[in-house]
Amino acid sequence: MQIIDFPKPKMHLFVCINQRDKDNPKPSCAPRITADMVNQLKIWIREQGLTTTVYCTKAQCLGFCNAEGSVAVIYPEGTFVNGIQNLDDLKKLIKERV
């Protein structure tokens, strides 16, 4: 095992795309935010020239599930955000921080 020598990003966004079964009474972040949307976000990040500045990773449940919106966590500050409605909200989170 060894440390990977790589430039540290300014921001690493983990986006919950968890989708529970229809029978599960607990809310989930998908289909409001999906794996395909996160892939689109990664393309947008590349188009903005932010490939080495912003990392974006799909995540499963981050533990703050709610019916009002999807959840993401932003590092390095470790800020959890809920109420995410769509791809534009994710772009806004990035624009506010870079």
For residues 23 to 62, the per-residue mask of contacts with ligand FES, x marking binding by CB under 6 A and - elsewhere, is -----xx-------------------------------xx
* Residue 16 interacts with ligand FES (CB under 6 A): yes or no: yes
The residue type at 15: V
At residue 67, φ and ψ (nearest 5 deg) are -85, -10
- Name the pairing type of β-strands 11-16 and 54-59: parallel
At residue 9, φ and ψ (nearest 5 deg) are -75, 155
* Residue 87 interacts with ligand FES (CB under 6 A): yes or no: no
* Residue closer to ligand FES, measured from CB, 68 or 88: 68
At residue 16, φ and ψ (nearest 5 deg) are -75, 130
CB 16, min distance to ligand FES, A = 3
**Please, which of residues 62-81 interact with ligand FES by CB under 6 A?**
62-65, 71
Upper half-sphere CA count for residue 11 (Cβ side, 13 Å): 19
Task: Write out the residues near ligand FES by the rule CB under 6 A.
Answer: 16, 18, 28-29, 61-65, 71
